[in-house]
Every structure is written in C-alpha cells, then in structure tokens.
Chain A
Amino acid sequence: MRNPYRTQKIAFFFLLIATLLIVIPVGIIVLIIIEKGLPAISWEFLSDIPRKGMRAGGIFPAIVGTIYLVSGAIVFALPIGVLAAIYLSEYAKDNLLTRLIKLAIVNLAGVPSVVYGLFGLALFVVFFKFGASILSGSLTLGIMILPIIITTSREALESVPYSFREASLSLGVSKWQTIRHIVLPNAIPGILTGTILGLGRAAGETAPILFTVAAFYLPQLPSSIFDQAMALPYHLYVISTQVPNVDEKTRYGTAFVLLAIVLVMNLIAIIIRYQFRKKKKW
C-alpha cells in the first residue's frame, strides 16, 4: 500500500526544491553583481564620461540619458494611463467595447520589446521625422509602459470603496467632482506604485531604444529632445558584446548601477504598496 503521508512528504520536498531553484540563482545573480560591481563604483565612475573607447572613465552620459528617457516616457504615459484607468474603473460599462479595451491592454503588455523598437522606428523616427532622438525613444518607452500604469492605477481606483462614491453622489456632487476629490486622492499610493514600476521597466529596457534613440558613444550630454542620447542598458550591452577588452570592473560596475536603479525603484513601489495596505483607513 502506498502511504499517502510519504507521498505528501516527497511531493512537498520537490515543491521546495522548485522554489529554491528560483530563489537561489536569483540570490546568486544579485550577489555576484554586488560583489564585483560595488568596488567599481566611485564618484569618478558615476560623474565622468567614458574614455579610451569606453574602456575607462565613467558612465555619466548613460545615466543622464536614461533619466531623460524615463522622464519623457512617464510624462507621456502617466496622464494617458491614469485617465484610461479612470475610464475603465468609473465609466466603462460591461460591454463589448470594454472587453476590447481590456484585450488591447493585455496585448500591449505582451508585444515583444523589440517590436516596440520597430514601431518606434517606423512611426516616430521615420514617419514623424523625429529622427533617432530622446523624443522618439521616450514616446516608444511611454507606449510600452502604458499597460503597467493602466493596470495598477485601475486596481488602485477600484480598491476605493464604492460607498464613498455613493455618499458623495448623494450630496448632489457631480461624478467628475467625486472622482477628482474622493476617488483619485485615495488611489494616489496605488497610482504612484504603478508609476514607479513603469519607471523601473522603462529604465531597464534596451530593445525599444536600440533604433529610436540610443547612441553607441556620445561624449557630450544631449542638449534637446531631438538629440540622441546614451542609455545605461544599451551601454551595458555595448561594453559587454561590442567593444573588446573592456575591463571587467567597468562592466560589472555598469550592471550594478542599472540593477540598483531598477531594483530600488521596485522596492520603493513594493514598500509604498505595503504601507498603503497597512494604513488603509477603511
């Protein structure tokens, strides 16, 4: 006879192994990058331009470029994303159109990042003649992070109790005033979480900026949104595969900075969400 408790023990053991197979490598990845990347970090590394064919110097222009790109993306995506979330949570009825919009969001989230790159190239760089520029890159990244912002904002809006809306409407307050003064303020932490997640995603993506903005090497900082710019993820790609004989320290240092930016943003988002859940007044 098979003993069900022994079967259970074996099964649970394997489930634990599966979990460890994810957790341990991730831990190792992060540790390797910290261990080898941290010693490379110095004020000079963060504030200097790349020198000697990117084999020395710092990564300052790439950091600045990434900041520009990410800011541009969020300026574009945040208002559209939040308004779209308001539409879905406050106005949309249960009909075919709503179904279509939700399906579109799912698809937008699933489009491969390199296809976003192609799209940005075709629409912004070639069709609108923005050229390879911060503008083209930001808009491409902006459309890419739209689904993240819509989804998290919508969750935040929907978590505001329906009764608040009813109480406000029953006073003769209009629907938009109710949204603006009651629903939206209470959804801010959730929207903030989504925004930061979007920022993190935009900061780490390479493929969408390959043909829309990223410069291989640019000694000076961009001066307008129609300039090309360097970006951290692309810079890491370049120095790990395109430029021979780059010091290992420089590569790990760049990877460390990029990973740190992305993970810190995600951690902030997680902490905000956690605090918000804990403090919820209702």
Chain B
Amino acid sequence: MRKLKESIIEKLILLCGLASVFFVVLIFLFLLKEGLAVFKTISLKDFILGKSWYPISEPAQLGILPLIMGSFLVTIGAAIISIPIGVGCAIYIAEIAPLRLKEILKVGIELLAAIPSVVLGFIGMVTIVPLVKSIFHLPTGLTAISGSIMLAFMAMPTIVSIAEDALYSVPKIYKEGAFALGATHWQTIYRVVLPAASSGIVAAVMLGIGRVIGETMAVMMITGNAAVMPNSILAPVRTLTATIAAEMGEAVVGSEHYFALFGIGIVLFIISFCINVTADLFLHRNK
C-alpha cells in the first residue's frame, strides 16, 4: 500500500520534473501554430527585411525590419551603458567592497532587479524623457536613447549578479599566487581574476542583453512608438516587444495582423533561446 502510494508520488515528481521542458516546447508550438500563418501571405525574407510596417492598411505591409532595427538600436545603447558599469560594479562588489558593504550592495542590486518594468517606465517618463528633450533640444524626449538609458538599469542587475558570481568563484589560490609574486591588488584582478572569470562575465553580459531585448513595458512607455526605420538614437523608435504589446489588443484573432504579431513572437523566442543557450554554455564551460 505504502509502496504503491510512493511509486505514484515518484511518477508525479518525474512528471513535474519534465514540466519545464513541456512548457518550453508548448510555448514554441503555440507561437508556431498562430504565427506561421503569416507566411501564407508574405515570404520570410519580406517579413524580416521588409522596411514598412503598416499592419492595418489595405493591403497590409508586414515588414518588421524597422522593429528589428528599433530593438537593435535600443539594445546597443543599453549595452554600451550597462556593460562597463555592470562589470565594474561586479568587480567592486566581488573584490573591493568590505564585507558589510558588499551585503548591502547585493541586496540593493536584488531590489533593483525586482522593480517592475512598468514602474521603471513610469519613472523614465517623468525623469529621463524631459531631460533628454531639454538637453538635445528635441521636439519629444520619447526616443531610442531614453529607452537605452532606462533599459540599462534593467540589464545591470543581471550583469552584476552573474558576473559577481563568476568573479567570486575564481579559486582563491589563483589570487594568492599572484599576490605572492608581488602583484598589486588591481594587477591581480586585471591579469588573474578577470581572465579566469571571463566566460562567466560573457554569460552575464549576454543574459543582461537578453533581458533588454525581451523587455516590453518600459520601452513601450518611453521610446515613442514610431514604427519607422530609425535614423538616429535621438528619434522615436518602436521595438519588437513594444509592437506586440501595443497592437495585440486591437488585432482581430485570426487576422493577418494577429498572425504577424505572433510571427514577431517567434522571432523574439528564437533570439532569447539562442542567447540563453549560448550563455548557459559559457556558464558551464569551466565547470
């Protein structure tokens, strides 16, 4: 009796263990199910490389290149800001900060990661947007660069915490070896610790960027939502994610527009899948 009960429980445990695989596959299948229909009306090449996104005009123009460029521009900007700051902060926390400060900083980083993106978007609207507008004398502050600055803050906690982990797990003996040769603390960090932790730092950067590409609400609120080919970081742009969020509410289920938005979903899923798999490979390379 007890044996039977336990074998049922153990089957259930196995089943739940497989649940994540099941859900990932399910997500991909349902994106495909709803999204592949878009390629009945438009070729993959025209979808990805088409320069016009007018989904509700007659006939609909469903080129997502402006959206890809929008995501790209915002992401590059965020990466340029967040990578040096994030990695620098990780080094500071892992190597330099005294124990107590270190604990406090780690809690702070964790709380930053927890701030909902809609709150960051709101804050961006009331702080960065007017600032960008007045500094660059623009008609609107809702621009790619505003998005980049705000998104940098969403990438940083990811970069800091994973990079800090990687730095922290460098064996103490490496450092002691360098110190024993008379190297300064900074020389040790720069020549020994950083190279040893490099694959973890690469993974941290990739995951941070992954978070930026997937980020939706904040970008939608502060990048201006202009689905046209961007020509400057000071112009309004529209990202892949924001397009889905902004337009799905109005798209009729089963329409071309609906399918196209799912098509964008497939693109986003594939991008995040590639980033996560590669980052995971980097993370486990040394172990």
Contacts and interface: CB of A to CB of B under 8 A. Distances in A.
B275 A110 contact: yes
Interface string B175-202: 0000000001111011000000000000
A236 B124 CA distance: 13
A22 B160 contact: yes
Interface stretch (B45-53, B60-68, B109-117, B132-140): B109-117
Interface string B1-32: 01100100110111111111101101100110
Given A14-B88, A117-B245, 8 more contacts: A32-B123, A86-B17, A91-B17, A104-B20, A104-B23, A115-B214, A121-B248, A241-B221
A18 B84 contact: yes
A18 B186 contact: no
Contact of A115 (B12, B109, B269): B269
The 10 closest A-B pairs by CB, nearest first: A112-B214, A204-B116, A87-B17, A18-B88, A83-B16, A8-B186, A110-B276, A104-B20, A207-B216, A15-B92
Interface stretch (A44-52, A159-167, A219-227, A263-271): A263-271
A15 B14 contact: no
Given A143-B23, A204-B116, A258-B116, A26 B108 contact: yes
Interface in B92-147: 92-93, 96-97, 105, 107-112, 114-123, 125-127
25 contacts: A8-B187, A15-B91, A16-B96, A19-B105, A21-B85, A22-B112, A23-B108, A81-B16, A91-B13, A102-B280, A105-B20, A110-B214, A111-B214, A114-B241, A115-B265, A118-B265, A119-B30, A122-B30, A122-B34, A123-B30, A174-B6, A176-B9, A204-B114, A206-B117, A251-B122
A103 B23 CA distance: 12
A100 B277 CA distance: 11
Contacts of A211: 248-249
A8 B215 CA distance: 37
A4 B186 contact: yes
A249 to B, nearest CB: 13
B33 A122 contact: yes
Contacts of A26: 108, 111-112, 115, 153
Contacts of B265: 114-115, 118-119
Contact of B93 (A19, A112, A146, A176): A19
A106 B248 CA distance: 27
Contacts of B160: 22
B115 A262 contact: yes
A87 B13 contact: yes
Interface residues on A, range: 35 or more
> Which of B156, B261, B275, B276 counts the most chain A CB atoms within 10 A?
B276
Contact of A114 (B2, B12, B21, B268): B268
A243 interface: no
A11 B265 CA distance: 42
Nearest to A88: B17
A84 interface: yes
Interface in A1-39: 4-5, 7-8, 11-12, 14-19, 21-23, 25-26, 29, 32-33
A200 interface: yes
Size class of the B contact interface (CB-based, 8 Å) = 35 or more
A130 interface: no
A17 to B, nearest CB: 8
Contact of B184 (A8, A100, A101, A237): A8
B217 interface: yes
Contacts of B2: 174
A25 B112 CA distance: 10
Interface of A: 4-5, 7-8, 11-12, 14-19, 21-23, 25-26, 29, 32-33, 79-81, 83-84, 86-88, 90-92, 100-119, 121-123, 126-127, 143, 146-147, 150, 174-177, 197, 200-201, 203-207, 210-211, 233-234, 236-237, 240-241, 251, 255, 258-259, 262-263, 265-267, 270
B244 A118 contact: yes
A154 B10 CA distance: 16
B246 to A, nearest CB: 9
Nearest to B22: A104
B16 A104 contact: no
A11 B273 contact: no
A207 B245 contact: yes
B109 to A, nearest CB: 7
Contact of A83 (B6, B12, B123, B211): B12
Contacts of B215: 112-113
A206 B216 contact: yes
Given A101-B18, A118-B261, A240-B221, A106 B216 contact: no
B24 A104 contact: yes
A127 B30 contact: yes
B248 A29 contact: no
Contacts of B214: 110-115
B73 interface: no
B235 interface: no
A111 B30 CA distance: 14
Nearest to B186: A8
Contacts of B117: 113, 204-207
Contacts of A258: 116, 118-119
